[in-house]
A and B are shown apart, each in its own frame.
Chain A
Amino acid sequence: MTVRKNQATLTADEKKRFVSAVLELKRNGRYDEFVRTHNAFIMSDTDTGERTGHRSPSFLPWHRRFLLDFEQALQSVDPSVALPYWDWSTDRTVRAALWAPDFLGGTGRSTDGRVMDGPFAGSTGSWPMTIRVDGRTFLRRSLGTAVRELPTRAEVESVLSIPAYDMAPYNSASDGFRNNLEGWRGVNLHNRVHVWVGGQMATGVSPNDPVFWLHHAYVDKLWAEWQRRHPDAGYVPAGGTPDVVDLDETMKPWNDVRPADLLDHTRFYTFDS
């Protein structure tokens, strides 16, 4: 069984194996298909139309399945690898070990945002931006520039305390746990972290930065924590909602998996704590 660990606790060997597997998916072309898929959903999920991957109740199960696909791809390269998560409410500065040269590398230089160290720096030649929205072909970041602070644990707690999973109109205007976690309303958790990282992470092609997976693995863990706190609350809506994935409806692009199939993460992996 896969155990997803806090990135701060990974051994040197675990970091090395994770990085190597990610680089291999990039080399063999599988990585960029994940970037392409994500951007396609980012551009097509709308508040007034069909919405599946974002700004909708299925934001959480959609990304759970998306991460499962990626994790399985990593494990096809190295079966020992699991997705680590980044608890940004704890490891909240640019000095976190996450950003060290032996793991993801640090922030970008001020002139053009180019990441200059670590295994994903443009100068390595092994991390080209293939699926991109502008002409630049190197990984960029600007940690803590566009927004100064990552969410605090108190802000995370305030969102975990929200009893309703989601609420009509089931989009970026909704109250409820999902939209407050996603960040279109309230203290803003998930969206703010994308903005804090900057570079490609602030765009529709955000999976170009490997930190995408560690960020979403933690968002996914927060969903699991919310479920433990609210055992009597569940995914909504339960049926008959236009443009929205109901509990027992299949999700694109897989078309063979429903939110109901993804509510229990322990079928697929557990967390270190």
Chain B
Amino acid sequence: MPDITRRRALTATAALAATATVTTLAAPGASAAGREHPGSVTGHEHPMPMPGSFDEVYKGRRIQGRPTTTGSGGHHHDHGGGYEVLVDGVRLHVMRNADGTWISVVSHYAPVSTPRAVARAAVDELQGAPLLPFPAN
């Protein structure tokens, strides 16, 4: 599993990202989807394939996402589970749910299927406002 994750992480192609999207979309609703996901390894902390990177301008703002090598960059408040998302270069706190869906600190109660979708939801929520670096204040 770590080899697969690393290969997917390094080979940040749209095709692989799309594959991850499809598999996570299938997961919600299935019982204990995270544990039974194809390619999972019993006991592994992140049993699901890590989505690939993305980089685009959405509604006039640059959104980026990429797997992180250590699994967690900041050790106090960051539990993005090995993936980081930026909006105009500022890190957005994101989190992966057990069923493979994603949330962020600005859309915490409404899971979406991919990190790109969570970044776009954040841009929608922000309505042009700057994101503050976390932990804020």
Q: Which residue of B lies closest to A43 (CB)?
A: B77
Describe A's contact surface by its main secondary structure. Answer: loop
Flag whether A113 is at the interface (Cβ < 8 A). yes
**B79→A202 contact, CB < 8 A:** no
Smallest CB–CB gap between B118 and chain A, Å? Answer: 13
| With A132-B137, A172-B97: A48-B32 Cβ-Cβ less than 8 Å | no
In the docked arrangement, what's the CA distance between A240 and B79, Å?
24
What string of 1s and 0s marks CB contacts (under 8 Å) between B88-102 and chain A?
000001011111000
Asked if A134 and B109 make an inter-chain contact with CB atoms under 8 angstroms apart, the answer reads no
Q: Are B97 and A133 in contact (CB under 8 A)?
A: no
Q: Could you say which of B46, B125, B130 contacts A135, with CB atoms under 8 Å apart?
A: B130
Interface range on chain B: under 10, 10 to 19, 20 to 34, or 35 or more? 35 or more
Q: How far is the CB of B117 from chain A (nearest CB, A)?
A: 14
Task: Pick the interface stretch among A34-42, A72-80, A119-127, A225-233.
Answer: A34-42
Chain B residues, Cβ within 8 Å of A146:
110
A43 and B93 in contact (CB under 8 A), knowing A48-B45, A112-B127, A173-B34? yes
Contact A48 B46, beta carbon cutoff 8 Å: yes
Are A133 and B98 interface neighbours, CB within 8 A? no
Q: A219–B9 Cα gap in the complex (Å)?
A: 40
The answer on a CB contact under 8 Å between B97 and A184 is yes
Q: Is the CB of B32 within 8 A of A36?
A: no
How near does chain A come to B63, taking the closest CB pair, in angstroms? Answer: 15
Interface residues of A (CB under 8 A from B): 36, 39-40, 42-44, 46-49, 55, 112-113, 130-136, 146-147, 169, 171-173, 175, 183-184, 191-192, 194-195, 202-206
What is the interface of chain B, defined by CB distance below 8 A to chain A?
31-35, 45-46, 77-79, 81, 93, 95-99, 105-111, 125-127, 129-132, 134-137
Contacts A46-B81, A134-B132 supplied; 11 other A-B pairs, CB < 8 Å: A39-B105, A46-B95, A48-B46, A55-B97, A132-B137, A133-B105, A134-B106, A147-B110, A173-B34, A202-B110, A202-B125
16 residue pairs bridging A and B, Cβ less than 8 Å apart: A43-B77, A43-B93, A46-B79, A46-B81, A48-B81, A132-B132, A132-B136, A134-B129, A147-B110, A169-B35, A172-B98, A173-B33, A175-B31, A192-B109, A202-B106, A202-B125
